[in-house]
Every structure is written in C-alpha cells, then in structure tokens.
C-alpha cells in the first residue's frame, strides 16, 4: 500500500511521501526478483491509497473491491523510531448540525432559538466528557459553522468531532456518550439537531506471522526495533484507514524512524522538514528492502502465506466473525 497525501499548508507533515517511496522501492526490488527467479509466483500490486487523512481512501477502495484478490497488505509509516507494530485508535467522525430559529438579537430575541448557543453548549459538554474518558481515548472537535452577525440569533451551526479509542467496541461506546452530549445541548436550547456519522476507521489488527518475517529481515539489515524489547509498545493516539484493511485481510503496518531529533512529531512543519531530508529517504529505502524481502518470502513460500492467513482467521474466530 502506498499512501501519498499531504496536509494543507504544512505539506508532508505525516511523511506519506516516504510511504509511497518505500512501497514503490519494494515493488521495484520484487519485480526484478520475479524476472530472474522462476520460483516466485503470484501477482504484485502497488495500490496507491489516497486521502488517508480523514477521507478514508482505503475504506472507499475496500468498498469498490480494490482488495478483492489481494492475499496480504504491507506498508510502513515514518515516525520517531523503528517499530514492528503501530498501535492506533479506532475512530468515528461525527458531523453535528443544529437548527434554530432566526430572530433580531435586540428587538425580539425571545422569538429565536440560538443554534450558536447549542454549538457552544455541545462543545462544553464534550470538553467535560473528556474528564471521564480513559487515558488512551481522544476527543477532538472544531466548530465549522457559527453565527456571522452579533446582532442576530443564529439560525444554524455545525461541529465536526473525531472520537477515538483503542478498540472498535470502546470507540462505539464513547460515541454513544458523545451523542448524549449533543442531544443535551439541543434540549437546553430548544434547537433541532442531526448527527451524521461520517467515516469510521478501525484499529489495526497485527498479524504475527507477517511481523516476525519483517523483523527477521529488518534485523538482518541492522535495524533495531524498539518494540522488539519486552514491555515496549509503540502507540499513537491517531488513527489510520489501514485498520479497515486489517479487518479484511492479513496486514503489516510497521513504522520507521526518520530522525528529527525527537521534536519532529506528526502533523507539524518540523516533521515535514524531517521527511524531506537525505536521512529520511535513506530510511525509506532501507524499509523498501525489508518490505521487498518480506513479500518475496510470502510469494515463494506457500506455507508461510498459509500461516499468515491462519493467524488472521484465528483473530476472526476470536471476535465472532465467520471464516471464509
């Protein structure tokens, strides 16, 4: 999988340019090996996955059948350190709209229903909800539409929230609590309201067979994976639509460090700058080699591919989903 979208005004503040570079580099290596060795079977697909940042390109590709004939999916995401697993949060986007009643704010405010007040109340309610969430949960929101004139009672308002939790079930429970916050704001102000549940991102399901294969070749190339040490977990509060892919087929989503002195965190100009350095490109090329070797192992060893599939099916059974 090759992500490639950038962030408005910031640029590649999430390093997706390096994801595309690593995936394309891996594909070049695998293609050359397939030309020279007749023991390598199967088909290699470089799938460009647009709009990972909130728009869910992989979700749409799944719905359109782009992953239908794919056995495994591989990718690696840049960050602060080399890792085998990226633990991310499941996420639901909530688009909330309040509809009030316009009125003159000085002549007859009692005739109106203030949608701006509803948005403010909702924002406060959600801020209070944060106090009672678990450490890994995340609630982030922004007011997208507000009143324009101080002398008017606002007729409509709109908010967009991202609600995140480590597990899909935990995310759903937190969304239910958030909905009560939005409903309470509507009741307090007398406004009507509507919640459009937007794009949903699942948490990443890690395939241990793919991880061990990637680790073997990474360590052979001199990479020290931080989370290979006992008790070390690489967790980010963010989310990725690769999680949705991992619900459908065996998926590897590793991470790799690109430097930046530890201050270059995702979605910042500092990270965009770090993602354009020679060190970052060298890291991406090293990852390309590891991805290529992992893919070649899978394509030349049917038993390894079967084990990866078995690990995935075991997870499906554990969550109550039927095997296919």
Look at residue 263 in the predicted model and tell me its pLDDT: 65
What CA–CA distance (Å, rounded) separates 231 from 316? 26
Output the CA–CA distances (angstroms, integers) from residue 248 to 5, 51, 93, 211, 239, in the order listed.
23, 19, 21, 17, 17
Q: Which domains does the chain have, with CATH numbers?
A: 2-88+204-318 (3.40.630.10), 90-201 (3.30.70.360)
Look at residue 266 in the predicted model and tell me its pLDDT: 79
Look at residue 321 in the predicted model and tell me its pLDDT: 56
Where do the DSSP E strands lie in the chain? 2-3, 48-49, 73-79, 90-99, 103-104, 138-145, 152-153, 156-165, 192-201, 251-257
- Torsion, Cα of 258, 263, 269, 274 (10° steps): -20
Pairing outcome for strands 48-49 and 2-3:
parallel
Average pLDDT of the residues in 74-83: 93
Residue 245 has pLDDT above 90, yes or no: yes
Give the CB-side neighbour count of residue 215, counting CA atoms within 13 A: 14
pLDDT tens track for 170-191: 999 999 999 999 999 999 999 9
CA 24, 25, 28, 30 torsion-angle sign? negative
Average pLDDT of the residues in 204-222: 96
pLDDT tens track for 22-74: 999 999 999 999 998 887 888 999 999 998 887 889 999 999 999 999 999 99
Q: Token digits for 54?
A: 């909130």
Look at residue 324 in the predicted model and tell me its pLDDT: 47
Residue 323 has pLDDT above 50, yes or no: no
CB neighbourhood size of 291 (10 A): 25
Residue 322 has pLDDT above 50, yes or no: no
Q: Token digits for 219?
A: 């360590």
pLDDT tens track for 254-312: 999 997 655 678 788 888 899 899 999 999 999 999 999 999 999 999 999 999 999 99
Query: Poorest-confidence range of 73-77, 106-110, 191-195, 267-271?
Result: 106-110
């Amino acid at each position: 999988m090759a992500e490639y979208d950038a962030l408005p005004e910031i640029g590649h503040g999430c390093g997706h340019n390096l994801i595309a570079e690593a995936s394309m580099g891996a594909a070049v290596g695998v293609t050359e090996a397939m030309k020279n060795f007749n023991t390598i079977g199967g088909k290699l697909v470089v799938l460009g996955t647009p709009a990972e940042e909130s728009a869910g390109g992989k979700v749409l590709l799944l719905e359109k059948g782009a992953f239908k004939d794919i056995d495994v999916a591989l990718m690696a995401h840049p960050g602060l350190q080399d890792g085998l697993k990226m633990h991310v949060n499941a996420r639901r986007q909530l688009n909330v709209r309040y509809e009030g009643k316009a009125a003159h704010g000085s002549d007859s405010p009692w005739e109106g229903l203030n949608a701006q007040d509803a948005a403010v109340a909702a924002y406060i309610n959600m801020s209070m909800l944060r106090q009672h969430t678990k450490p890994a949960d995340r609630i982030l929101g922004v007011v997208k539409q507000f009143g324009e004139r101080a002398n008017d009672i606002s007729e409509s308002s709109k908010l967009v929230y991202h609600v995140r939790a480590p597990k899909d079930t935990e995310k759903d429970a937190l969304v239910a609590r958030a909905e009560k916050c939005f409903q309470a704001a509507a009741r307090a102000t007398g406004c009507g309201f509507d919640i459009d549940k937007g794009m949903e991102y699942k948490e990443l399901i890690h395939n241990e067979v793919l991880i061990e294969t990637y680790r073997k070749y990474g360590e052979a190339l001199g990479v020290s994976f931080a989370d290979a040490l006992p008790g070390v977990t690489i967790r980010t509060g963010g989310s990725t639509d690769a999680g949705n892919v991992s619900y459908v087929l065996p998926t590897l989503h590793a991470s790799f460090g690109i430097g930046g002195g530890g201050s270059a965190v995702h979605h910042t100009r500092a990270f965009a700058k770090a993602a354009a350095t020679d060190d970052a490109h060298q890291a991406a090329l090293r990852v390309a080699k590891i991805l290529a070797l992992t893919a070649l192992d899978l394509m030349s060893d049917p038993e390894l591919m079967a084990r990866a599939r078995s690990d995935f099916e075991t997870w499906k059974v554990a969550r109550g989903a039927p095997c296919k």
